[in-house]
Structure 1
Amino acid sequence: MSRFRSLWKASLDATKKALTWNVEDLMPPTERLIFNFNSREELKKWHLYSDSEYGGSSSASLEIMDEGNGLKAEGSKWNISRSGFCGMRSKKFDGFIDLDAYDTIALKLKGDGRSYISTIYTENWVNSPGQMEDNSWQAFVFVPKDNWYIARIPLARYLPTWRGNVIDASMEMNQSRILGMSLSVNAGGGIPGARSGPGDFKVELDWIKAFRTQ
């Protein structure tokens, strides 16, 4: 009987240990690094876009900082014209990334007092006729001038958009199918009090992460 109890206890302990390991293994970390702008290889993951593709005169450039601690996007004088825009967008992930366990996107930035637009692209829920593009979700982010700043944006604050305009529809972000991200700037609009209008701009980006705060 004593030997049977010993074997049963050993089996029970092993089962408890296995169950505990499985639960911990399935629990995602509280933060997840998505992009880390610390090498020139990062440039290969991004491309620029602007209103110049549609006959506008806005322009921008991307470069890795010499000290290796960030990516700088900037435009020369008069680079944003009238209601122009410039942006940097990541190339599509190899498949997609799953951020369903997270509730916040954080960006470490240093800027010029302008308001920028953080965009998340997700797999389209429904490919309706004439609408084969990815879903896009946008939120404004203010970037203070000259000092590094960590902007934390709850995913619930991202609104569904279509070509820059908010969609008046009840939609839910497909957080398990994230295809890419972008950061852009417009000459007009944005957060009240932020610098706006045509002219030059500069923003540095160190990293982008997802956080689980609840």
Structure 2
Amino acid sequence: MTSNPHHSDPYHSGQWNLGRFVKTLSFFGAIPFLSSVDWFQQWFGSRPDPKVARTVMTAATERETRQGTEMILVAGAAGRVGQQVVQQLERSYAVQAVIETDLSQVSAGIESVTAGIYCADTAEWAREQTLKTWLQNLNLLNLAYQPIFNFAQPPADLEEIWGALDDVVMGGVSESGIQLKDGVAEFSGIVSTANSGGFASIRTRNFEPPLDLAEFDGIALRVKGDGNRYKFMLRTETRWDGIAYCYSFDTVANQWITVPIPFSALIPVFRAKTVSDRAFDPAQVTALQVMLSKFEYDGALNPRFAAGAFQLQLSSIRAYRPGVNSKFVLVIPQAEPSEPLEQLVQQSGIPYTIVRPTQLTETPGGQPLRVEQGSLTGQVSTADVAALCIAALEHSEARNVSLAVTTETNATENQCAVGDWACLFQAANAKLA
């Protein structure tokens, strides 16, 4: 949905609600005395002492200790590419080779898998439902991302953690809320520009102690929106009206997307105006907030804002680690229909690489390769395709890209030495740019 932010507001009617104003301030502890009084909070259906213990969340910042050797799962291990992948992986990794598509045959060891290479070069493994089942059951998402909120398995007292924070606090009449529906959190309501308002949001109460996200590079949201542009905000102060670190993101109507939010891209803002010399401290995150606002920053208007009803579904809020490599490689020959399979992988939220080889041969490997984010012609050795797949798990340059691969027959165009995977992946990214 794209709309003119200057259009008339059909939701202009309505009067300011004093009760909601007091309830909002009380929920977030902005009225120090009354916020701690039992009967006053119970009057508004809440509880006193509005702070959130970290233990109510989904093991948000418990640092994982990984033990043992990395286990790579190879699905479709009996195929031409799969056999080569297994053979080469066994030199350096523990391997779980899977021949049958029935997931129950390997469920006992699936929890130890740290990455997967899915070889769809045979008919049974190229089925859309087969790939979907494997993506859903491999625990690869949590290896790349640390959950903060997983709304498929929400804390029991979600309504005591998240609350509405709308423009009622400044005289507006917008109204929103958060509720659980079918394993997702739904942020929805009506946003109005009446009374000089124009924003609706949900915010957590303050975390105590603060979240320590210092070992992470950013936040990843899994959302399905309505086409509006929203803001995600992190706070590092316990003050009710302090600095917020903001990131604006566009949604695609009725489509699940993963939104990466690098900490380095956060904008420090106070009351919608940017401030300088206020670096974000990821070790002191006190609250999270999601907002739909008429305004961007410093008076600029949100170009994708529409007054009226809105809805944003959230599946998860996760922190992601620095330099995360691909955790899932899909191999599907360029000659095969691949769009449904590629979309499944791209929408899974798992860091991925898609490898689309040209005509496969059994010639010896070690040939110079040409890799591009487009279509190619020619032939390529299964041994070289297997080596490329393994390299994709080891190089961050290959993360979240779809690559066609063939043997390079023009020596003058080949600028990367055989086996220089970083060079090859960087070259493919450069051609796209």
TM-score (norm 2): 0.38
Query: Secondary structure in 1 aligned to 2:165?
Result: strand
Q: Name the CA distance, whole Å, in 2 between partners of 1:193 and 1:117.
A: 10
Match of 1:180 in 2: 287
The change in CA–CA distance for 1:84 and 1:98 in structure 2 (over 3 A counts) is same
**Equivalent residue for 1:21?**
none
Q: Does 1:165 align with 2:273?
A: yes
- 2:295 equivalent to 1:207: no
C-alpha distance in 2, partners of 1:172/1:187? 26
What residue identity is the alignment partner of 1:213?
P
CA 1:151–1:205 in 2, change beyond 3 Å: closer, same or farther? same
CA RMSD of aligned residues (A): 2.7
SS of aligned partner of 1:178: coil
Deviation at 1:44, TM superposition (A): 2.1
Which amino acid counterpart does residue 192 of structure 2 have in structure 1? I
1:178 & 1:188 partners in 2: Cα distance? 24
| Aligned ranges 1:1-214 → 2 under 5 Å | 25=65, 30-38=144-152, 39=154, 41-65=157-181, 67=182, 69-76=183-190, 79-81=191-193, 83-123=197-237, 133-167=241-275, 169-189=276-296, 195-214=304-323
> Contact (CA 8 Å) 1:189, 1:196: kept in 2 or not?
no
Larger-gyration structure (1/2): 2
Say if 1:123 and 1:192 are closer, same or farther in 2 by CA, change over 3 A: closer
% same residue:
22
- Structure number with greater CO (CA < 8 Å, separation at least 6) is 1
- TM-score, L = length of structure 1: 0.74
Match of 1:117, SS?
strand
Contact 1:188 1:197 in 2 (8 A): no
- For residues 64-99 of structure 1, the C-alpha deviation after alignment (integer angstroms, 9 at most, x for no partner) is 10x2x21111114xx322551000001111211111
Shift of 1:133: 4.9
Question: Which residues of structure 1 form unaligned runs of 5+?
Answer: 1-23, 125-130
Task: Count matched residues.
Answer: 179
- Equivalent-residue separation in structure 2 for 1:106 and 1:197 (angstroms): 25
* Corresponding residue SS for 1:60: strand
Alignment CA distance shift 1:132-1:117 (3 Å): closer
Unaligned runs of 5+ in 2: 1-63, 67-142, 324-433
CA–CA distance in 1 between the matches of 2:209 and 2:221? 23
| Cα offsets for 1:98-155 (capped at 9, x unmatched) | 111111210010110001010001137xxxxxx8854320110111110111101111
Q: 1:171 to 1:61 in 2, by over 3 A?
A: closer
